[in-house]
Amino acid sequence: MRMLLIHADYLEYEIRDKALKNPEPISDEQRKGRLDEVLAVFISVEKVDETNPEEVVEEAVTEIEDVAKQVKAERIFVYPFAHLSSELAKPDVALEVLKKIEEKLKEKGYEVKRAPFGYYKAFKLSCKGHPLAELSRTIVPEE
């Protein structure tokens, strides 16, 4: 898994077109989304993650929470992003991993949004620019 973590004044998105034949079904209210004072986490789920998705979810949540505590972010935006890796996991595995990350972060008390999966989206992001505002993490499941 590859993650790009951006501490931002806001992240907002708007659905444009389908990027997959069968994207995640969404409600009208999910066609747009915005969070202010947010840790935006752009995630590419990778093929290697398919060997142990549960472990990758646990490690991703640990890494995300670690950064959220460092930058004092209470809101997290989980954003599916297929451009951090050339070895992407299958969409059905990727979606399940992203849903589990969202669920576990909510259980930990964070306000969490997850951008819809399988769509081309317009987005605006306002990075805060402090030294910890742009971080990346790579997670590989144990053999």
CA–CA separation, 129 vs 132, rounded Å? 8
Interaction site with ligand SSA (CB under 6 A)? 19-20, 43-45, 80-82, 88-89, 91, 94, 117-118
- Nearer CB in complex with ligand SSA: 37/122: 122
Q: Which is nearer to ligand SSA, 53 or 80 (CB)?
A: 80
Q: β-strand 2-18 against 119-127: which pairing, if any?
A: antiparallel
Q: What Cα–Cα distance (Å) separates residue 82 from each residue in 46, 105, 122?
A: 9, 21, 14
Q: Which amino acid is at 40?
A: A
Nearer to ligand SSA, 30 or 128 (CB): 30
Task: Look at the block and give the residue holding tokens 């499941």.
Answer: 141
Measured from the CB of residue 31, what is the shortest distance to ligand SSA in angstroms?
14
| Minimum separation from the CB atom of position 43 to ligand SSA (A) | 6
Report the residue number, 79 or 110, with the smaller CB distance to ligand SSA: 79
| Cα dihedral across residues 104, 54, 20, 12: positive or negative | positive
